[in-house]
Chains A and B, each alone.
Chain A
Amino acid sequence: DGGITQSPKYLFRKEGQNVTLSCEQNLNHDAMYWYRQDPGQGLRLIYYSQIVNDFQKGDIAEGYSVSREKKESFPLTVTSAQKNPTAFYLCASSIVDSNQPQHFGDGTRLSIL
């Protein structure tokens, strides 16, 4: 079955550490996205990529970095510069077409120790 796999489901980080969240898709989608979800707020776009080796900042990119070396993979690194990293992170993918739905992973919950 095609889909999006995020790992791990739960992640703990110590203060000052970088941590990388994995997102893999086998849907052959060109576009991939990272969102952050906080209680009481809508999802907010961190980064997106519409093609391999290219990505753009979303609305809240500060303190995050991404890479897109393969079509299937779009890892997100939460750096120590992100002052409030505790949140639920969702990865999504879609074909590059303005009216196609995005497919979401099951998310990674990141907490600071």
Chain B
Amino acid sequence: KNEVEQSPQNLTAQEGEFITINCSYSVGISALHWLQQHPGGGIVSLFMLSSGKKKHGRLIATINIQEKHSSLHITASHPRDSAVYICAVRHSGGSNYKLTFGKGTLLTVNP
């Protein structure tokens, strides 16, 4: 079983829809990251969470430490949101340099 599981793998939405991407993990963590990878391949960090909720524009990220689960929400989705969204966890303890990545969720937003 992978240490970081994302769902869904693929998601197609119509412009304006509310989108949720989920991430579950099985290891102890000090932080969880949400990343965005555009078709060209470059990766941008969206959020880093260790508890609660963060909001940036139309993006909202939440984490439940007890349930080992995080969600990324996109409100009023737009075609420019089309990308791969990746969840990554930073391990707690002795391996705290290490990020373990999910396989990513490919989001396509149609106009």
Contacts and interface: CB of A to CB of B under 8 A. Distances in A.
Task: Name which of B30, B88, B99, B104 has the most chain A CB atoms within 10 A of its CB.
Answer: B99
B94 to A, nearest CB: 11
Nearest to A104: B43
B30 A42 contact: no
Interface residues of B, number: 27
Interface of A: 31, 40-45, 48, 50, 58, 88, 90, 92, 98-107, 109
A106 B42 CA distance: 4
Task: Name which of B35, B42, B86, B90 has the most chain A CB atoms within 10 A of its CB.
Answer: B42
Nearest to B103: A42
Interface of B: 2, 4, 30-31, 33, 35, 40-45, 48, 50, 86, 88, 90, 92, 96-104
A41 B104 CA distance: 8
Contacts of A106: 40-42
A101 B101 contact: no
Given A98-B96, A104-B42, A109-B41, A42 B48 contact: no
B99 A102 contact: yes
Contacts of A50: 97
A97 to B, nearest CB: 9
